[in-house]
Amino acid sequence: MAVVELAAGPVAYEDTGGPGPVVVLGHGPPMDSRVWRKVVPLLPGFRVITPTLPLGGHRMPLRPDADLTQRGTARLLGDFLDALDLTDVTLVLNDWGGGQFLINEGRTERVGRLVLAACEAFDNFPPGPAKALGVVARVPGGMWLLLQLFRLRAFRRMPGGYGGMSVAGIPDDLLVDWFRPATRDRRVRRDFARFARGAPPRDELLRLAAGWGAFTRPVLVVWAAQDRLMPADHGPRLAALYPDARLEVVEGSSTLLGEDQPELFARLLAEFAARPDVRAS
């Protein structure tokens, strides 16, 4: 695993070093690059980069003054693309949809195509069951107490939370490992809490979402038919919002498409990422 030093701090990532085109796979909190472990081997003709974003599953804390609001985290993602000097990137957002705020920040010059894969959108930051996380993160010691609950298997597997993010089911040892850094390191826990309480209010979210149509390059919206966290109507709404977008609805999957339908998702992604770079904006 490689590490790049950004202004906000270190970010670890894996890079297949393939011949290209470049695909960057994002993830949700508090996951890491292993959420794509089933998909990456199915993309041999691409350079696939999987950063572990500072969403609570990272092992190297950021600087104390790092901006981990939704927009701040989007800027950090833009800084990551800059630091690796990536161009014509197919950027994949799954679960965490905050990478769309790169559009509001005017930071999409390195993004050739965008894949919105069962991710947050509009006013669904964070998804309904996770809204309590933002409340807990504002209470001194609240995040530590919540993480203790995740030591209990029954709590980790609740269908309204992580237990409902995959039809196949997230392997429990992996889920435990995703929560381990924030449980053990108060600095990572600090980062996680900053991100958890960093969503703008609903009116601001809707105002920002109204600006996403400024991204006129190709967009693939992949929505999961059995998703408990991302509203079913958000897929069609996103496809209608972006000027050059199409919608694919995947059966037999919840939020983590790479966990439930890796072969189908890899095929859709490979076909889309091979599209020529059209600099329409």
Could you give the count of Cα atoms lying within 13 Å of 255 in the half-sphere of its Cβ?
A: 25
Instruction: List, in sequence order, every beta strand (DSSP E) within the chain.
Output: 2-6, 9-15, 22-25, 47-52, 89-95, 111-119, 219-224, 245-250
Q: Which tokens sit at 66?
A: 């790092």
pTM, two decimal places: 0.95
- Angle (CA) 214-240-220 rounded to 5° is 80
86 vs 156: CA distance, rounded Å: 36
48 vs 38: CA distance, rounded Å: 13
Query: Is 50 exceeded by the pLDDT of residue 5?
Result: yes
From residue 227, give the alpha-carbon distance in Å to each of 38, 109, 131. 19, 31, 17
The 10s digit of each residue's pLDDT in 74-114 is 999 999 999 999 999 999 999 999 999 999 999 999 999 99
pLDDT of residue 180: 95
Q: Which amino acid is at 248?
A: E
**Chain mean pLDDT for the chain:** 94
Strand ordering across the sheet containing 9-15: 2-6, 9-15, 47-52, 22-25, 89-95, 111-119, 219-224, 245-250
**β-pair partners for 12:** 3, 52
Query: Is 50 exceeded by the pLDDT of residue 281?
Result: no
Is the CB of residue 26 less than 8 Å from the CB of residue 77? yes
Phi, psi of 100 (to 5 degrees): -65, -20
Give the sign of the dihedral formed by CA 272, CA 275, CA 278, CA 279.
Answer: positive
The 10s digit of each residue's pLDDT in 221-262 is 999 999 999 999 999 999 999 999 999 999 999 999 999 999
Query: Is 90 exceeded by the pLDDT of residue 276?
Result: no
39 vs 193: CA distance, rounded Å: 29
Q: How confident is the model at residue 277 (pLDDT cuts 50, 70, 90)?
A: low
